[in-house]
């Protein structure tokens, strides 16, 4: 006696003996994923994982606004101390962790599929704005007597451009963004 042949629901030419332990559909090895409770088809896994995301549409906007505001403060501090690049190795992850936790508290610990992406983008935007402002303030205080009024107007664009060449700022930005990604992903 031979058993009835079963074929994968996604690949009709592939014979299989595997079945999803949730929906009992026959699936081949390409269409199944091993979980702690057994083999599940990708459709059942997607339905299960979609339940983890509880963020509302306003949470994405709130994460962007709060992230930019907090990242401006972190970027300003980074702009001031970025000449000591060894210090930035410790400051970047610290600032990224603080930014991630403030964003998480602002959205009341709800999870969203793209909250991490919005938070990382806001760290980059806020970091450039804040570091430009922090460097401009330092630049103005250090050379206020020599520059006068015109120098004060040119200080921010010059300081913002100077951060593009500053190794300490790039170390801060890379470590802060990676920490935010790791905390909110």
pLDDT in tens, 56-67: 889 999 999 999
Q: Average pLDDT of the chain? A: 83
- Which H or E run contains 131? helix 115-142
Task: Label residue 50 exposed, middle or buried (CB < 10 Å: 0-12, 13-18, 19+).
Answer: exposed
8 Å CB contact between 32 and 41: yes
Q: Which residues contact 93 (CB under 8 A, 6 or more apart)?
A: 175, 176, 178, 179
CATH number of 1-51: 3.30.40
Neighbours of 173 (CB within 10 A): 26
8 Å CB contact between 106 and 69: no
Per-residue pLDDT, 34: 84
Phi, psi of 18 (to 5 degrees): -80, 145
Distance of CA 55 to the CA centre of its chain: 16
**Range with the poorest average pLDDT among 35-49, 105-119, 165-179:** 35-49
- What is the pLDDT averaged over residues 127-147? 70
pLDDT band, very low/low/confident/very high, at 180 (cuts 50, 70, 90): very high
- Residue intervals of the chain classified under CATH 3.30.40 are 1-51
Interatomic CA distance for residues 72 and 122, integer angstroms:
9
Partners of 35 in the β-ladder:
38
Whose tokens are 């401009």? That residue is 136
């Amino acid at each position: 006696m031979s058993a009835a042949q079963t074929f994968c629901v996604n690949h009709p030419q592939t014979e299989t003996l595997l079945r999803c332990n949730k929906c009992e559909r026959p699936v081949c090895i390409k269409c199944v994923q091993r979980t702690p409770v057994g083999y599940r088809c990708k459709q059942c896994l997607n339905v299960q994982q979609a339940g983890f995301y509880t963020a509302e549409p306003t949470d994405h906007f709130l994460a962007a606004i709060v992230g930019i505001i907090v990242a401006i403060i972190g970027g300003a501090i980074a702009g001031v101390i970025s000449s000591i690049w060894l210090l930035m190795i410790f400051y970047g992850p610290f600032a990224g962790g603080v930014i991630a936790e403030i964003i998480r508290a602002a959205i009341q610990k709800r999870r969203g599929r793209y909250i991490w992406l919005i938070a990382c983008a806001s760290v980059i935007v806020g970091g450039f704005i804040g570091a430009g402002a922090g460097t401009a303030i330092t630049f103005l205080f250090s050379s206020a007597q020599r520059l006068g009024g015109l120098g004060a107007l040119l200080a921010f664009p010059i300081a913002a451009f100077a951060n593009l060449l500053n190794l300490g700022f790039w170390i801060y930005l890379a470590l802060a963004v990676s920490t935010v990604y790791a905390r909110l992903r």
